[in-house]
Structure 1
Amino acid sequence: MTELLGVAVLGAGHMGADHIRRLDRVVSGARVAAVTDPDTGRAKEAAAGIEGVGVYAEAEAALDAPGVGAVLIASPGPAHEAALLAALRRGLPVLCEKPMVPDPAGALRVVEAEARLGRRLAQVGFMRRYDAGYRRLKEVLDGGRLGRTLMLHCVHRNAASPSFFTSEMLVEDSVAHEIDAARWLLGQELTSVTVLRPSPSGGAPERLADPQFVVFETSGGALVDVEVFVNCRSGYQVRCEAVGEHGSARIGDDQGPLVTSAGSASTGVPQDYVVRFADAYDREVQAWVDATRQGRVTGPSVWDGYAASAVAEAGVRSLRGAGRVGVELAGRPDLYGGATG
């Protein structure tokens, strides 16, 4: 296939604008064919200088635009279900940013719609599966050198949270990445969630429960803990340590050069996720474009998106005072096989 894949990008905010730049300047084999955002001024700004791109206020207009052969959804989470279902009705391949659909019932509707088609068209944007550090950690665990994995210790920190962030979004939007990463790294489902709330940081906005400490139990008997702290002030930090029967492996400490000067040593801390995971996003979108042009889907499935939403919903119930909450998943359609993640 020599013709460029025409991609409609839904959403021109922080993430959407970065994907528009990536498709236009970094990724090979694709072009931005359409951009949509309710704020058409923002959409025009994000698409400025790109030849032949159409700008629309409505998502479905972009899906029907000339030259569109695939869709990248980077709009706010509540808009994802309608966009995914519209793309599936048109038979368009999709890369959808997480959370795929915030509520499990809506996510399951997407799973059922794709299963009825009898073929995979959609991929969910869990980009940590494409990060070099996470991929190396996955290789170590799968290789068996550490024996059975007993625990994962995870850290997820942001310098500051957006003004619209709620206590629930720490679980639904931030810890969602650790939910998928844990399922993928361990090859196990998460079966229960407990969210603990220390005293809020003085740097957190009023009424925001920040930080939080989240504990997952898994189907294979492992424990996963996540410190999520979205107003830590120091920068964007993501770490993961796997503890096995015969040793441990840790990633996330090598994000900048170590500078020694004037009697001290220091290293830079990224201030934003699009900086920290820039390479992972590039690999993810390139892999999606390559697979799509070959008529395949190779990344995280909508089942993975549904599972993450179900676990996050249980986490929100725990956050609101329900204590330890079990996770119940619907039956997995045959389309998505039996392996976790």
Structure 2
Amino acid sequence: MTLNVGVIGTGMIGQDHVRRLSRVLSGVRVAAVTDVDPDRARGVAEGLPDARVHANGQDLIDDPGVDAVVVTSWGPTHEEYVLAAIAAGKQVFCEKPLATTRDACDRILDAEVAAGRRLVSVGFMRRYDEQYRAMKAVVTGGEIGDPLLMHAAHRNPSVPDFFTSEMIINDSTVHDIDVARWMFDDEIAAVRVLTPRVSSKAREGFNDPLLVLLEMHSGVLVDVEASVNAGFAYDIRGEVVCEDGTVELSESAGVVTKRAGTHSGRVPADWRERFVRAFDTEFQAWIDAVTAGGTTGPSAWDGYAATVACETGLIALRSGDREPVLLRERPALYDKDSS
């Protein structure tokens, strides 16, 4: 059976997902696309056999030839399309964020709970990265004792001019926030954001880097160095300190060469190079689950919890204080592990 997918949003990440859905993965075809820029959508459709171009996301969701929906549009539009997919009873894969506000996420949770089954999967692809999975296996296995601390870093070589200090939390650190929840099977209790000396590469009025401190309910502390003007590469770091040892991500990609008293290796240039296999694994798992009549991956609850933690992080960025993360009661629908 082939799963017919409709893609809402054909920008950079949308086009990358269309490529993997149509050329890399099995059991799926891109049956329809739409974008706020109709010419861009038509250009993408030209490279897809018999793909339809719709005027808007609602029309795509209503298309009887679309079995499931992938949302890769601008963040503030996610709520509308996810709610429409739930109303249509169609499985929906939504790139992060699930929605940009707590209230919007609440509405999605309420709609999915009312539907009585999980229909939403959120694109936190680091859960599918081989290195992160291996690190979690060590932590969960208990072979080096109980976890105490996690050190993380998210370093971008550069960001577009529209990028803001707030987006360091909402668009970059959000991945580390989800990893922390998933790594320790725990919720975040509080957030604090410290602002170190500002990089000379940052624009005026732009706080870069940031140090984000997450307190888990268990007492584990997670520090995230978030830098978006690192210049040299896309560098992702992670180390968990436990009672009897540590476990950390290996170098991001490639091999290490040793010669003439030196050693060198490659660091990825961007997120696509670093996480291409994770994206592929994530989508293939989702395709297989939807084809079998269900879903898999990070849930709407995971998307909600990440958005609330980011909102709290923005409050902490402005206040300079420790800010508690206040979540609603988790519905029973999400009690089952979603990783």
Q: TM-score range by the shorter chain?
A: over 0.9
Q: Give matches, 1:71-90, under 5 Å.
A: 71-90=69-88
Output the CA distance in 1 between the equivalents of 2:174 and 2:252.
23
Q: Which moved more, 1:128-137 or 1:255-264?
A: 255-264
Amino acid aligned to 1:240: G
Task: Give the deviation of 1:174 after TM superposition.
Answer: 0.6
Please tell me whether the aligned partners of residues 193 and 320 of structure 2 are also in contact (alpha carbons under 8 angstroms): no
Structure 1 pair 20–302 and aligned structure 2 pair: CA distance change class (3 A): same
Cα pair distance change 1:259/1:48, threshold 3 Å: farther
2:63 alignment partner in structure 1: 65
Q: 1:301 aligns with which of 288, 299, 302?
A: 299
Aligned to 2:106: 108
State the match for 1:199 in structure 2.
Answer: 197
Q: Distance in 2 between matches of 1:239 and 1:150?
A: 17
Q: 1:219 maps to what in 2?
A: 217
C-alpha distance in structure 1 between counterparts of 2:233 and 2:195, whole Å: 21
Cα deviation for residue 340 of structure 1 reads: 8.5
How far off is 1:41 after superposition?
Answer: 1.6
Note if 1:142 corresponds to 2:131: no
Structure-2 change in CA distance of 1:239 and 1:140 (3 Å): same
Give the whole-Å Cα distance in 2 for the aligned partners of 1:18 and 1:190: 31
Match of 1:290 among 288, 291, 298: 288
TM superposition shift of 1:261 = 5.4
TM-superposed CA distance for 1:88, in Å, is: 0.5
User: 8 Å contact 1:189–1:340 — kept in the other structure?
Assistant: no
- Structure 1 residue 254 displacement after superposition: 4.3
CA distance in 1, matches of 2:252, 2:47: 36
Alignment of structure 1 residues 1-341 onto 2, 5 Å? 2=1, 4-260=2-258, 264-337=262-335
* Deviation for aligned residue 1:204: 1.6
Q: Deviations over 1:234-270 (max 9, x none)?
A: 1111111000001000004241222345664321111
CA contact (8 A) 1:188 1:340 kept: no
**Following the alignment from structure 1 to structure 2, what is the Cα–Cα distance between the partners of residues 240 and 59?**
37
Once the two structures are TM-superposed, the CA of residue 206 in structure 1 deviates from its matched residue by: 2.5
- d(CA) in 2 for partners of 1:12, 1:254: 28
Bigger shift: 281-290 or 165-174?
Answer: 165-174
Query: Identity across aligned pairs (percent)?
Result: 46
CA distance in 2, matches of 1:310, 1:32: 32
Deviation at 1:66, TM superposition (A): 4.4
CA-atom RMSD, angstroms? 1.4
Q: Classify the secondary structure of the residue corresponding to 1:116.
A: helix
Q: Output the TM-score relative to the length of structure 1.
A: 0.96
2:71, 2:94 within 8 Å by CA — same for their partners in 1?
A: yes
Q: How many angstroms apart in 1 are the aligned matches of 2:338 and 2:206?
A: 33
Counterpart contact for 1:78–1:101, Cα < 8 Å: yes
CA gap of 1:322–1:126, structure 2 versus 1, over 3 A, is: same
Q: Please list every run of 5 or more consecutive structure 2 residues that lacks an aligned counterpart in the other structure.
A: none
TM-superposed CA distance for 1:233, in Å, is 0.3
Judge conservation of contact 2:252–2:268 (CA < 8 Å) in 1: no
- TM-score between the two structures when normalised by the length of structure 2: 0.97
Cα separation, 2, equivalents of 1:201 and 1:213: 13
Question: Please, which runs of 5 or more residues in structure 1 have no aligned partner?
Answer: none
Alignment CA distance shift 1:259-1:41 (3 Å): farther
CA distance in 1, matches of 2:299, 2:228: 27
